[in-house]
Structure formats: C-alpha cells, structure tokens
Homo-oligomer: A and B are copies of this chain.
C-alpha cells in the first residue's frame, strides 16, 4: 500500500511520475448515467496548467486527458473510469543535478530513506504533476455534485503579505487573474510582490480558501470520518500544504464561547445559523451552512538562491536549483484544493445515503 487511493464509495487511485510516460487516475464507484466527455475534465486540468503570465513556468504542457474506460455513448456506465494524460514535454536532462543531491524543502531525501531509490526526474511521484489525477477525478466529482445542488469555489486568499479584500470579491477574477485571486486590486499587489520575490531569487507562500455551498445538513460521520476530518486529510495530502482550517480555524483558540457559538434560528421554516464561525460543520456533520476550508501553502521550495544541503553520499554541498519553477504554487493549487474538497464531499454524500433504515426501505420498496 503506497497510499495512492482516496475515498470509500467514490474511490480514486492515482498513478504516475513527473517524467514517466503518463499520469492518470482510476475512479471506481462513479454512479452510472452521468453524461461525461473529455472536455468536462479538460476544463479542470487547464486550470492547473501554467499560464502565460510572468510568474508561471514557461514550460509548455498540453496535458490532454483521454478517457480510456467507463463511458459508453456519452454516459458513465458505473464501471471504473480510467483517465490518462500522456507526458510529452519532459526533458530528463533538466533535472540531472537532483539525482545526487537532496533539495531542501523537497521529498528527495525522504524517498531515498523510504524506498532505497527514487525516480529523481522532476521530483518523480512527488512532483506537482502528481495532482493531475486528483484534478481529473475532482472534475468528475464536481460535476456529480452540481447535479445535487452542491457547488465549490476555491480561490487564492493571500500571497505572502497580500490578502484579498472580501468587499472587492469578483468571482470572474478567479479564472482570469494570474494569482487566482477574486480581487483584481489584490491580484496586482500580489503580482508585484511575486516579482520582488523572483528578483530576490526567492519564492512565496499563500492561502487558498474553498467555499462549498448547497451541502444539506447531515453529511459526514460523527467520529473518525467526520466531514472536517476527511477534508483535513484531503487538503493536507496536497504537497506544500502545512495547515488546514475549518470556518474560523486558528482564531477559535483565542475566542470565547459566546463569540464562537453560532445561534440557530428559524429562517422561513428552515433551521439556519445566524453566523457561521463553525464553517458549516458541527460534530463532524454538515449543518446546512456553507462549508469553509482553508489551506496554508508553503513557498515553492525550488529557489534560485544557493542553499546548503547534503548529497547522497552525505557530503555537505551547496545547491542552486536551475531550470523552471514558479515563485508561488498557490494559483496552480487552487483547482487542486477544489478537487480534493469535491472528492471528500461527494464520498461523504454517498456514504450518507444509508444512514437511516427508512432510506433502505424507500429504496428497496416492495410493491
């Protein structure tokens, strides 16, 4: 078990290395009857592609997805979906230095410690390209969720010291701004900051927020498989994420109960909450309010500045990482966060369908 499977009922297994022949994902448990074509998935994959902007790696990646199984006459059949993206533009020669040297902030050393060898080309399995399978599967999950009234929106909340102003919120900007910020003013400031980082041969971290609307109350399980527990794992399993928050997140530790509790209130016959400090989850179960999750992403570990490290012979050496690398991974990770959230939410929605005996008796009605 190398931990490449996620989910219980909507179960995905990803595979592939940065510079291998291809990367992909198998989705087992996709319900039959979903209209699905490659374009549905490509739209999501394109969001993780490097852009044309000055902050993105100039590497040209086409990353065209191919559906290899599980769709017939335009509909999913209930059998596994196999989605594949062929690697085309990888040049192994770019990464020869990594072969003998452990890059700070990367998994190189840990891979050698664990497996005794590693595919060092472009980070191998620990490359950002590993997320192709997550995003392809997330596209399918999000499409299913949309049919049951659930929508997800992830965006960049901050880059380095630059945060968005929620009063400027412009959803269009998420897909069009290079930073994926929903605030064009902040986007400009963040771009300036990133240029400064690049000038300094340095990189920046940031925060991604995802808001999930339409999840009815009752989704998620009360103990280990809490909805927030599943989201935490989903999001923390994305490379470079070092903290996950739900709702008010870290600020709850300084709050008082009278501030943090959300009063329930009847709004036109529906149980609602006056506030949403909880971020839509209480006791691990959705409460009907929007679900809010945030990921704190570390600065790109690959920087042009020289760094101290050791090589495979344990000798102290200096490394200056060449080649292409973004000064920030946040914008390209936005769709990854959205995808992982979609996968966690969909799986919980499906598991929830057997929570009551009446659900079974309604389903297996005896006429």
Contact = CB atoms under 8 A, between A and B. Distances in A.
A353 B359 contact: yes
Q: Is the interface of A mostly helix, strand, loop or mixed?
A: mixed
B9 A82 contact: no
A195 interface: no
Interface string A344-367: 000001111111111111011010
A252 B242 contact: yes
Interface in A55-96: 66-70, 72-73, 75-82, 84
* Copies of this protein chain in the complex: 4
Given A114-B352, A232-B244, A222 B107 contact: yes
Nearest to A17: B69
A20 to B, nearest CB: 5
Given A107-B284, A222-B126, A310-B266, A253 B13 contact: no
A258 B300 CA distance: 9
A125 interface: yes
A357 B278 CA distance: 30
Nearest to A245: B243
A358 B33 contact: yes
A64 to B, nearest CB: 14
A110 B287 contact: yes
Given A75-B117, A130-B223, A249 B253 contact: no
Contacts of A252: 205, 242-243, 296-299
Nearest to A110: B285
Nearest to A299: B257
A53 interface: no
A246 B242 contact: yes
A257 B135 CA distance: 25
Interface string A282-309: 1111111000000011111111010111
Nearest to A72: B119
Given A261-B299, A266-B314, 20 more contacts: A2-B30, A5-B13, A5-B28, A9-B351, A21-B66, A33-B116, A72-B121, A84-B84, A104-B261, A105-B261, A113-B287, A148-B361, A202-B258, A205-B260, A229-B233, A232-B236, A253-B298, A255-B298, A257-B299, A359-B363
